C-alpha cells in the first residue's frame, strides 16, 4: 500500500509541476528524500572552536534543508582516526570531513598552501585569495583526483608563536630548542638548528612540565588557556609567524555531493561559507578575553620575538617553501599565485588594515 501511495503521489506531483506558478520548481517528490550523512573530523568531539564549527555546520544544514539532509558529526577516532579524514571521505566511508589541508602533504606537498604557510596570508587575505583570487579553483583541481571537493571551513586568525621555557633573544637561542611545531613551521625550526617534534595535544602539558620539550605552539589564547600551558611555561611569544591565517577545510565526497539535488548542494556550499566566517568571529572574540585572563589573572609574560629572529625565520621560511615546491609543478603554480596575491595584499593592507591598527593606538 505504501508503494502504491507513493507511486500515485509521484504521478500527481510530476503531472502538475509545470502548471502552477505557486509551486516550487523541480522534482518535488525526489526532493523530499532524506539524506543521512556522516561528517568525520580531526578534533575531539566539540573541541572549542575547531570542533564546534562542524557541529554548527550540521545544525545549519539540517535547519535549512528542513531535515532533508541530516549530518552526524564524529570526533577524531570515533569513526576514523584524526589523520584519516582525507582518506575516509575520499573513499566514501564518510560523505564529509572537517580538517586541515596541511595534514595531507603525504598525498601532495601542495596541500600545505591551503591551510597556512609561514609569513603567508592572514585570515582576511586567505578568504579573499580563495574566493576572489583563484585559490579555490586551484584547491579543487588539487583534490579532484581524490574524489574530494574542498570548501574553506573556518580560521583561527593569526596564531601565537607559542609557549617557551627558554628565552629567545637571537637565532642562536633556537639551536638545540626542542619544540612541538608541525608542518612547515617545524621544518623552519629544524633549519634553524632546533628539533621539531610532533606530540598529540593531550600530551603537551606533561611534556612541557617534565622538560621533554622546551617549547610548544598550539593555537592562541582561547585554546591555550584551556590547556593550562601558562602553568608549565615561562614565556608566551608572539606573533605566530608560522601560521598567520590557518584555514580549516570541509571536504565533501564528490559523488555524494553530486547525488544531492541542487538545492541541497547550494545549502552545503553556503553553510560552509557561513561557518568559515563564524569560526573566525568566535576565535577573535574569545582570544580577546582569554588573553586578558592570561595576563591579568595568571600573570603570563607576553613577549615579542626579536626583529632579528623574525628576519631569520622569514629567510628560512622562504627556503622551506622553495624546497617544498621543488619537483612539484602544481605546488609551484600555487606558490606563485599566493606570492602574487601576498605582494598586492601587503601593499594594500599596509595602508589600510595595518595603518589603521597603528592609527588607533598612536
Residues in region 109-168 near a copy of itself by CB under 8 A: 119, 122-125, 127-133, 157-160
What the block records as the C-alpha cell of 337 is: 599565485
What the block records as the C-alpha cell of 49 is: 572552536
- Count CA atoms within 13 Å of residue 314 on its CB side: 11
Interface with a copy of itself, residue 346, by CB under 8 A: yes
Q: Which range touches a copy of itself (CB under 8 A), out of 73-81, 106-114, 139-147, 339-347?
A: 339-347
Number of residues binding to a copy of itself, judged by CB under 8 A: 99
3-state SS assignment for residue 216: strand
Q: Which of 72, 175, 298, 314 binds a copy of itself (CB under 8 A)?
A: 314
Decide if 328 contacts 109 (C-beta within 8 A).
yes
Site string for a copy of itself, 4-43 (x = CB under 8 A): -x--xx--xx--x---xxxxxxx-x--xxxx---------
Determine the Cα–Cα distance for residues 150 and 148; give it in Å rounded to an integer: 6
Interface with a copy of itself, residue 355, by CB under 8 A: yes
Q: How far is CA 325 from the centre of its chain?
A: 21
3-state SS assignment for residue 197: strand
Name which of 141 and 348 has its Cβ closer to a copy of itself.
Answer: 348
Q: Which range touches a copy of itself (CB under 8 A), out of 173-181, 201-209, 247-255, 299-307?
A: 299-307
Site for a copy of itself in 162-221 (CB under 8 A): 220-221
Give the bridge partners for 74, in sequence order: 40
How near is the Cβ of 196 to a copy of itself at its closest, in Å? 20
Site for a copy of itself in 264-293 (CB under 8 A): 266-267, 270-271, 273-274, 276-278, 280-282, 284-289, 291-292
Site for a copy of itself in 87-106 (CB under 8 A): none
How near is the Cβ of 80 to a copy of itself at its closest, in Å? 26
Counting Cβ atoms within 10 Å, is residue 2 exposed (0-12), middle (13-18) or buried (19+)? exposed
261's enclosing H/E stretch is none
User: Is the alpha carbon torsion for 125, 126, 127, 128 positive or negative?
Assistant: positive
Amino acid at each position: 500500500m505504501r508503494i502504491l501511495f507513493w507511486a500515485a503521489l509521484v504521478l500527481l506531483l510530476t503531472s502538475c509541476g509545470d502548471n502552477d506558478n505557486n509551486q516550487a520548481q523541480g522534482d518535488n517528490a525526489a526532493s523530499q528524500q532524506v539524506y543521512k550523512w556522516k561528517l568525520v573530523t580531526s578534533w575531539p568531539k566539540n573541541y572549542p572552536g575547531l570542533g564546534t564549527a562542524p557541529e554548527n555546520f550540521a545544525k545549519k544544514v539540517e535547519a535549512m534543508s528542513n531535515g532533508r539532509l541530516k549530518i552526524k558529526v564524529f570526533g577524531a577516532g570515533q569513526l576514523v582516526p584524526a589523520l584519516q579524514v582525507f582518506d575516509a571521505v575520499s573513499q566514501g566511508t564518510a560523505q564529509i570531513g572537517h580538517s586541515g589541508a596541511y595534514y595531507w602533504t603525504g598525498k601532495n606537498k601542495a596541500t600545505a598552501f591551503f591551510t597556512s604557510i609561514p609569513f603567508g596570508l592572514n585570515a582576511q587575505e586567505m578568504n579573499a585569495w580563495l574566493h576572489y583570487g583563484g585559490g579555490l579553483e586551484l584547491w579543487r583541481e588539487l583534490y579532484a583526483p581524490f574524489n574530494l571537493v574542498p570548501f574553506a571551513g573556518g580560521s583561527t586568525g593569526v596564531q601565537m608563536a607559542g609557549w617557551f621555557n627558554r628565552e629567545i633573544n637571537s637565532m642562536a637561542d633556537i639551536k638545540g630548542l626542542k619544540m612541538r611545531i608541525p608542518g612547515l613551521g617545524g621544518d623552519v625550526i629544524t633549519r634553524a638548528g632546533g628539533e621539531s617534534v610532533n606530540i598529540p595535544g593531550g600530551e603537551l602539558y606533561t611534556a612541557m612540565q617534565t622538560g621533554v620539550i622546551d617549547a610548544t605552539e598550539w593555537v592562541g589564547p582561547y585554546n591555550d588557556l584551556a590547556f593550562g600551558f601558562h602553568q608549565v611555561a615561562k614565556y608566551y611569544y608572539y606573533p605566530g609567524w608560522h601560521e598567520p591565517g590557518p584555514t580549516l577545510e570541509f571536504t565533501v565526497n564528490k559523488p555524494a555531493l553530486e547525488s544531492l539535488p541542487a538545492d541541497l548542494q547550494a545549502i552545503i556550499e553556503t553553510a560552509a561559507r557561513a561557518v568559515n566566517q563564524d569560526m573566525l568571529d568566535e576565535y577573535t572574540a574569545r582570544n580577546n578575553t582569554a588573553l586578558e585572563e592570561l595576563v591579568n589573572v595568571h600573570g603570563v609574560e607576553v613577549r615579542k620575538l626579536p626583529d632579528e629572529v623574525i628576519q631569520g625565520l622569514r629567510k628560512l621560511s622562504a627556503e622551506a617553501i622553495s624546497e617544498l615546491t621543488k619537483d612539484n609543478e602544481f605546488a609551484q603554480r600555487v606558490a606563485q599565485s599566493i606570492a602574487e596575491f601576498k605582494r598586492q595584499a601587503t601593499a594594500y593592507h599596509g595602508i589600510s588594515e595595518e595603518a589603521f591598527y597603528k592609527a588607533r593606538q598612536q
